[in-house]
Amino acid sequence: MASAAILAEQLGVEFLVCWIPQVAAPAPQEAVFASESGFRFITESELEQILGYTLASFPHYVSQHDVSGVGKVATLAGHDQGEQPLMSEFSKVLSSGDVDTAVIVAGGRFSMNPGSQPVTWDSVDFQNERLNWYRTLKLAPEIDSVWPELTGEPFVGLHLRYSDRSHQAPSRAEIKRAVVNLCRSAGVDRVFVASDSRKERQNWCETISGLGLFPWVVETGSVSSGEFDGDVLALIDWRILTNAQAAVYFAESSFGYEAAVASGNFDQSVALAPNLLVSLGVEVRGVTQNLLSAPKRRGWW
């Protein structure tokens, strides 16, 4: 959203959002954004009228077509390539002068300014543009009325992305070393711990306590019990991370990366690269589990 909003501003066009809940993030827009967020939301049905086809038919990469009553529609979906490598091509389509609407389905950051670059591309200017956008972002009261009361004294953040990124995790020794060094350089002893694994979050709180530091977390009871508490808690975690003196995070996690950008302390934060031994261990465990479960899955016993 940040990338698309920045692009829309640069082009001088209206920015619309079609917010479609997913299995991994089921919360509707009302549970995420404040009513005064300033975004203009449209429904999936309205988007499909603009496209002239269903979202299930959305083409990969860069495409354009004519829609009766709408005009020329350009589309971008990075799919397996990612968005940024396609930006030179997309820029040429948009600058052709005959595009009436652009529709982007994206999961990563992207900018027309540098043209086509690897998906990992970023720049100081683009980080500052996103920082400014994040600072104007208004989330739902269940999120933005909670986190300011929890932060207290200065702290550093630790974000641990394990569930779908376990194979890209750094070693525990690397994480401990980074947290200790960051606390020393920032002159603080409080560590906010956020993770998508409750078990790992608890383990790391115990580890950090053993290092003579003071870990803290957002407890489940911080928000009213509801259907979308998981999404709300994740965004409370993210808001708190954006207010840390600096953060330690997994380099492959956009959640931690963008929190560091939004904090304004990106250069002071520490991105930890995947550890090859950890990656190998995750792969071996996965193969072993598949082998052990194969007889049952195939109905042999």
pTM, full prediction: 0.88
pLDDT of 298 > 50? The answer is: no
Per DSSP, the three-state class of 192 is strand
* Tokens (6 digits) for 296: 């049952």
- pLDDT tens by residue, 192-205: 999 999 999 999 99
Q: Residue 173: exposed, middle, or buried by beta-carbon count in 10 A (0-12, 13-18, 19+)?
A: exposed
- pLDDT tens by residue, 113-167: 999 999 999 999 999 999 999 999 999 999 999 999 999 999 999 999 887 555 6
Per-residue pLDDT band at 301 (split at 50, 70, 90): very low
Domains of the chain: 2-136 (no CATH), 152-280 (3.40.50.11350)
Q: What is the mean pLDDT of residues 251-259?
A: 95
Could you give the CA distance from residue 276 to residue 286 in angstroms, rounded to a whole number? 15
Could you give the CA distance from residue 299 to residue 301 in angstroms, rounded to a whole number? 5
Q: What is the Cβ-side half-sphere exposure of residue 249, based on CA atoms within 13 angstroms? A: 30
- Specify whether the CB–CB gap between 270 and 182 falls below 8 A: yes
